[in-house]
Structure 1
Amino acid sequence: MANNQKKTNGDMPNAHLHELFVDELRDILGAEKQLLKGLKKMAGKANKETLKSAFEEHLSQTEGHVERLKQVFDSVGLTARGKKCKAMEGLLNEADEIIEEFEDGEVLDAALIAAAQKVEHYEIASYGCLVSYAKLMEHAEAEELLNQTLNEEKETDVKLTEIAMSEANVVQ
């Protein structure tokens, strides 16, 4: 069967994963949409220009992730529909608490990075699972698209660590 041809549940290997795959896709689509607001807020609160720029860059990437997820849904013959992600909601609520608690302190950027990396690790775990499911069900296009996003999330995590270790976590 051609990779771009839609597979029905009965035609794909590991079809038992399909409902979980779709549920996780909807969850991460909702998470990415929620994150758009959170990244705007974090960028606005960051003190160092490097961190502000990193948040703004990831905001732009996240807009691309939403569009890419729509392509993933399309590649498996589904309408893109997200659901409220309770995990992202909790992570963003925690980021809000951090902002309130450390807003006037010199440690705010370090705290923002910690909050952002918690988000990144959630996204890395989510996309990692989705890539695996797509691979097992032989959704080649979905696998490729999801893997692109997974790699971008990993790169963002590395960039945040570099900013933390060179600027935010050290006295200059």
Structure 2
Amino acid sequence: MSGFLEDLTKSHKEKLKKFKENVADILKPEHNDVLLLRFLRARKFDLNKTEVMFRNDVTWRKENNIDTILETFEVPEALKTYWCGGVSGLDKEGHGVYISPMGNFDPKGVLYSAKTSDILKTYAHSLEDLMQSHARLSEQRGLKHTEGSLMIFDMENLGVHHLWKPGIDIFLKVTIFIYGCPS
């Protein structure tokens, strides 16, 4: 059994129920079974580890205003102009497709044009937009909720100029900001 909503064992169902009871104090309407199962699968249905991860995520989203970032954060003009990548649609299984032409990214130009905090927020904004676009496109096509996304990193034109130390540092900051450290 996969641990996905359509394919739950009796044990998975019981753990999902128990998990919802454990985090009832912070559950929101958008925390549906599909989302909660993502957290359970990420921690191999270990309830303690899953609860820690989920609570950390809720705290991080609140601290960084992620739930309202699409409405409250205005992407700086330089990043609107030079941001690489975006949602191109859905694949044949209904997964959102995000294309990032990494080789066309100008790390020096971006770092000289925007604050690190704006770059981090723009990345979070982009991912939230991906998730909402994915849901919207799935609904428009009458597809069941799909949980995955397809990320395509186009490496054409990637060169040593992309290995600029401040650019690598910002990439690491983005990775830690968005994905955090394993818990």
TM-score by length of 2: 0.26
TM-score by length of 1: 0.27
Higher relative contact order (CA 8 A, sep 6+): 1
